[in-house]
Amino acid sequence: MSTSTSSGRARLRDVLPQLQLGKWPTGELNSITDVPGVLVHTQSIRPDADVNTGVTTILPRPDWFKYSSHAGIFRFNGCGELTGSHWIEETGLLTSPIVLTTTSAIGDGHRGILEYAFRYHANDEGEMGLFIFPVVTETFDGFLSDQSRFAVTPEHIVTGILNAGSERVPEGNTGGGTGMICHRFKGGTGSSSRVVQGFDAAGDPKAYTVGVLVQANYGSQENLHIGGVPIGRIIKSKKASGAVLPEDTTAKEARKDGSIIVVIATDVPLLPIQLQRVAKRATVGLAKVGGYGNNTSGDIFLAFSTASKIPFQELSMAPGTSLTKDPYRPRPRAIEMLDDDSINGVFEAAADATEEAIYNALCMAESTTGFKGRTVEALDLDMVKDIVGRRLDVL
């Protein structure tokens, strides 16, 4: 088996309780699953030392197979894949679970979503009428996991859809983030949420939630910042001076500069164009931590809203079947949309939750020895307390 070791891992708020990460409070779980109806499942696949990979499955709503969600995409740097993106950009509709995995498993993720649909939603004639464009995205875990093993299978995706739940998302070396590296430390899966007070369409007070899940696999050590403190550069300087033990030399081997996938969920009633704007704000959170969108980094952000339930487009291959809606006779649908003049809090919440989700991925991840005996160390939380904590105490 591969080796993961790091004692006393904790989320950043537990490591640095004095650190202020924006002005908006977190949800109860401080996780993407604080958004009502959003369900998540993580699977780590580690049969031996050479394989450290996995799958994260997000269901936008429990009845995702009946109702689409409004969605928007922003590509900060496009060295990566997000299947189904053409349809999302064309219609503004998310018609699928969201699967985050490794680069070599894009096809397995795509097939797995369809296998689930045929297995559980086919009619007696074996035909499946769900209008689905599978949404599967990836980051590259080939430094710690042997890509040639193709360890992820469609069955893992079926399992993820069936078992997705509303509990706090496990972080660090979990799900699609199992083998990922962030700022040259062990990275992976992280999540966070924010609650923004506002009003409903009738003018009554209402609390809205913005939740974020990241698969963090990008960046150089010297660019890592926590709370504005250049901790990566400080740690690197300490190592160079011999103040701490030197890093494992395998971490210096040449490799692709990762990627980061950011999924933003919210119950704010947003149109697709507004969700594109919210997705862009993930860039602010990424930049605060130290992401620059380097040439070989796939920095792809997807935002969706659960507020409007859009019935799936009718699809039938049975001859003589008549549709309940005539596609040639326009029919309006009543939906709510947020007043753009009141959207700034949502922008800030998305940025702040993205920043904290990346921190949680770093702080919860464990040191890992994997493919070819390569070792990637976890971020030293005692050093985080010492370096960042001392600077916060003097502010």
List the catalytic residues: 259, 297, 299
Secondary structure element (H or E) that encloses residue 380, with its range:
none
CA distance 214 to 232: 20
- What are the DSSP E strand ranges found in the chain? 3-5, 39-45, 53-59, 67-78, 93-94, 98-102, 135-139, 181-182, 185-186, 188-199, 205-217, 259-266, 298-311, 367-369, 375-376
The residues that bridge with 303 in the sheet, in sequence order, are: 72, 264
Which residues touch 268 (CB under 8 Å, ≥6 apart)? 196, 198, 208, 210, 305, 307, 338, 346
- For residues 264 and 48, is the Cβ–Cβ distance under 8 A? no
CA distance 129 to 121: 8
Pairing of strands 135-139, 98-102: parallel
Following DSSP, what letter does each residue of 7-21 receive, concatenated?
SS---HHHH-TT---
Q: How many CB atoms lie within 10 A of CB 360?
A: 28
Query: Which residue is associated with the tokens 């960046």?
Result: 219
Residue with tokens 């994997």: 370
Look up tokens 């996995």; give the residue.
54
